Amino acid sequence: MSIINCPECRSPVSDKSKICPHCGFAIGEASEEDLQRAARIRRLKQQQRLNMTLYLAMICFIAGFLALYYGRQNPGSPLEWVGYIGLTIGGLGYLAVRVLTLAAKRR
Ligand SMILES: [Zn+2]
């Protein structure tokens, strides 16, 4: 008996089990076509998650920019800090998504 990765959810599963205990994918009956379809769907879902994270990061960045724009009129105000935090989270989130997107394409 050995451990394989479920084609659908990538969780470790025994190669003897017919059904993935994590997502219910029928491993035993999966044809090559099923496996390819599962891999394609998994890539699409991953891309959707990355896109969603990218939108959130951009919203964070824009909100941070606006907060900073208005917060700078009162230096040291909470709004100014919200601006810095928003810009930081948005910028780092954007970079993280870019790196993860490149890593996903290379696989
Ligand atoms: Zn699974």
- Per the prediction, the chain carries an average pLDDT of 90
Residues in the chain, how many?
107
Going by the DSSP 8-state scheme, the letter that residue 6 receives in this structure is -
| Å from CA of 62 to ligand 1 middle | 38
The pLDDT of residue 98: 92
| Å from CA of 44 to ligand 1 middle | 16
Domain extent for 75: 45-106
Give the separation between CA 3 and CA 73, rounded to whole angstroms: 60
When divided into structural domains, the chain yields a total of 1
Structural domain contains residue 34: no
Structural domain contains residue 3: no
Q: Work out the number of other CB atoms within 10 angstroms of the CB of residue 47.
A: 13
Structural domain contains residue 20: no
Q: What SS3 state is found at 24?
A: coil
Structural domain contains residue 28: no
Structural domain contains residue 39: no
pLDDT tens for each residue of 3-15: 988 888 889 999 8
Half-sphere exposure of 29 (CA within 13 A, CB side): 4
pLDDT tens for each residue of 48-82: 999 999 999 999 999 999 999 998 888 888 999 99
pTM of the model: 0.68
Structural domain contains residue 92: yes
Structural domain contains residue 21: no
Give the separation between CA 92 and CA 88, rounded to whole angstroms: 6
| Å from CA of 5 to ligand 1 middle | 8
Structural domain contains residue 11: no
